[in-house]
Amino acid sequence: MTKFWSIAMIEARQLWRGRSFWIVQVVLILPAILFAVGFIFNNSTIYEGGRAGIPGQVSLFIYFLLMPILVSPAITRDLGKPGELLWSSPLEPLTHLAGTFCGLWLGLLPGIFLQIGAWWLADLFLPNFLSDLAWLYSLLIYLVTITVALSLSILLAMMLRRTLLVLITWVALWVITFFMITGIDTHIPAPSSSLFNIVFSNLQISPSLGLGPFRDLIFSMIVWFAGVSLFILCLALFLSLITEHRKSIGNSRAAIVFSAAAILLLAAGFMINRRAVSAHAMLPSPFDIQQEMWQVDTNLMKVNVDADTGDVEGRSLMILKPLQQIGTNQVVLQLNPGFELQAVQDETGHALEVKREGDGVVIELPELPGESLTIQLTWWGKLYLPVQAFAHRWRYYYAPDVYRNAVPQPPGALLYNGIGYLLRDGDWYPWPWIAGPRQAQINQVTIQTDAENSLSSVPLESGEASWEGEMPPVFLAFHPPGDEAVGEGKIY
C-alpha cells in the first residue's frame, strides 16, 4: 500500500508540475468565459433551450479530447529508460498500474473542480434553469467521463507506445464519438447511442423531476462506463505483461479479483442498459389506425388518478359516428401502452373482444358499424413513456434512399413521483386517431384525485373536478411540493 500511494503521489505531482496541465485548464475555462462574455455583450445565449442541461458539458467534451496530452506522456515515459529501473525494482505491475491510474485520477481532480467552478461563476451572468441538483450531476458525470477517458488513454498509450500516434488515434475516436452522439435535439441521451455517449450529451435535468422517468437509463450508463473503465484497465494490465515479457503478474489473486469485478460490472451495466432501453422503446401503432375515420359524438368519462403511484383508472361511455365508410368490423382507438383495457361493452352490455397493438387497441365488433356505435370502456394502468415522447427524433422513409428526421410532440400526459400533468390531447384515455383536438359534441369528464398538489382548470371539490361542454387543453397538473428557486426563476 505504501508503494501504491508513493506512485500515486508522484504521478499526481508530476502532472501538476507540467505546464500542459495548466494550459489545458485555461483552455477548458474558455468556453465558460466565452458564453458569459457572449451573453453580456449580446444579451443572448446560443443555448436558449439548453440552459437546463448539465453545466460544463461543453468543457467536458473538450477535456475528453485533450486527455491524452496529459496522460500519454506519463505512460510513454515509463516505457522508456525509467521502465528499465521499474523492471529492476521489486514493484508488481498491478501496483504500478493502479498507482499510476489513481495518481493521474487524483491529479485530474483539481481540474474538474476548476471547470465546474468556472461554469458556476459564468452561470451568474447567464439566464438559466439550473437547479442545485444539476451541479451534483455535473460533478458525477465529470468523474465518470474522466475515469473512462483516463483508462482509455492509458490503454492506448500502452498499446501504441508513442504520444503522437496516441493523439492521432484519439482525435479519430473523438470525432467518431462526436458524430455518434450529437446532432439530435433531445432532453435525454439517445438510447441507441447510450453505450457510447461518454459525455452524457443531450442530458437535461428538470428542476422539478431531476432525471425524471429516465433515471434508469442514466443509472445504467454510469454503471456501464464504470465497468468499461475497469475492464480497460484490466486489458492494460494484461497488455503490459504481454508486451513486456520480463514482467510477471505478481499478486495473481488480486489481478483475478480485479478482472472478475470489471467483467461483472461491465455485464451488469450492459444488461441494465438494455433493460432501460427496452423499457422506453417506441411501440408501433396498429397497421391501420383508422385516422380521421371516427367522430366522437358523446364522451362521458370518469377517471381516478393516484398521482403518487401513477395509477390511472377510468371508465367512459363513447358514442362514435363514422365519418366515412368503415370497411371492417373493427374500431381502432389510441391508448397509452401502459394501460390495460379491462372491459369493453356495446350498448346492450355485451362484452366485445379487444386486443392491444402497440400504442393502440383494436376492438372487434360483431358486425360492420352502422350510423353510430356505442361502447363502454374500462381501463387501468400506469403511463408508459417511450423515449420518443421526449422530443427524440426518429428517421422515417421519405423517398428511395432518402430518410428524414421527425420530431414528435411532447407527451400529452406525465405522472412521475407525484408530479406531472394530464392534457386533453394526451393518450391517457381511449380516443380515435385524430389530428385535431379531442372534442366531442357532448362532453362530460370527471377526474378524481387525492393529491394535494393538484391544480385544475375548474375548481376542485373534495378532490373531484368536472368539465362539461368544450374541453380545456389542460385537465390537471400536479406541481412539485413547495417553492423552489431555479436560476432566475421560481417554481411554485
Give the integer Cα–Cα distance in Å for 80 and 379: 71
Task: Between 42 and 88, name the residue whose CB sits nearer to another protein.
Answer: 42
User: Phi/psi of residue 329, each to 5°?
Assistant: -95, 55
- Smallest separation, CB 28 to another protein (Å): 9
State which residue, 20 or 328, has the beta carbon closest to another protein.
20
* CA distances in angstroms from 295 to 246, 283, 323, listed in the order given: 81, 25, 6
Nearer to another protein, 157 or 217 (CB): 157
Q: How far is the CB of 360 from another protein (least distance, A)?
A: 30
Cβ proximity to another protein, 401 vs 461, nearer residue: 401
Q: Which C-beta is closer to another protein: that of 22 or that of 87?
A: 22
Q: How far is the CB of 402 from another protein (least distance, A)?
A: 6
**Shortest distance (Å) from residue 167 CB to another protein:** 6
By beta-carbon proximity to another protein, the closer residue of 165 and 279 is: 165
Q: Which of 422, 417, 428 is nearest to 338 (CA)?
A: 428
Minimum CB–partner distance for residue 87 and another protein (Å): 20
Give the Å distances, CA to CA, from 260 to 231, 242, 254, 364: 9, 19, 10, 54
Listed residue (260, 214, 238) closest to 411, CA to CA: 214
Nearest approach, Cβ of 107 to another protein (angstroms)? 16
Q: How far is the CB of 41 from another protein (least distance, A)?
A: 7
Supply the Cα-derived Rg of the chain in whole angstroms.
Answer: 29
Q: Are the beta carbons of 379 and 429 closer than 8 angstroms?
A: yes
Between the two ends of the chain, the Cα-to-Cα distance in Å is 53
Residue keyed to cell 488480486: 254
- Residues 361, 363, 364, 368: is their CA dihedral positive or negative? negative
In the bound state with another protein, the residue whose beta carbon lies nearer, of 69 and 320, is 69
Q: Which residues, in sequence order, are bridge partners of residue 302?
A: 315, 446
- Secondary structure percentages of the chain, helix, strand, coil, to 5: 45, 25, 35
Smallest gap from residue 225 Cβ to another protein (A): 23
65, 67, 192, 201, 414 from 173: Cα distances, Å: 9, 12, 18, 16, 38
Q: What is the smallest separation between the CB atom of 95 and another protein, expressed in angstroms?
A: 24
Residue 12 beta carbon to another protein: minimum distance, rounded to whole angstroms:
18
Q: Please tell me whether residue 294 adopts helix, strand or coil conformation.
A: strand
Report the interhelical angle of 132-160 vs 215-243 (nearest 10°): 20
Nearer to another protein, 36 or 333 (CB): 36
Residue 49: Cβ-neighbour burial (10 angstroms; 0-12, 13-18, 19+): exposed
Distance of closest approach, residue 192 Cβ to another protein, in angstroms: 15
CB nearer another protein, residue 26 or residue 281: 26
CB closer to another protein, 170 vs 379: 170
Binding residues for another protein, rule: CB under 8 A, are 20, 23-24, 27, 30-31, 34-35, 38, 41-42, 44-46, 58, 62, 65-66, 69, 73, 76-77, 80, 162-165, 167-169, 171-172, 175, 179, 183, 401-405
Cell 507506445 appears where?
Answer: 161
Distance CA 252, CA 140 (A): 32
State which residue, 42 or 409, has the beta carbon closest to another protein.
42
Residue 272 backbone zone (phi > 0: left; psi -120 to 50: alpha; other: beta): alpha
Measured from the CB of residue 42, what is the shortest distance to another protein in angstroms? 5
Neighbouring CB atoms inside 10 A of 97's CB total 22
Specify the amino acid at residue 130.
L
Q: How far apart are CA 358 and CA 292, in angstroms?
A: 19
Give the residue with the Cβ less far from another protein, 74 or 375: 74
Beta bridge partners of 489: 486
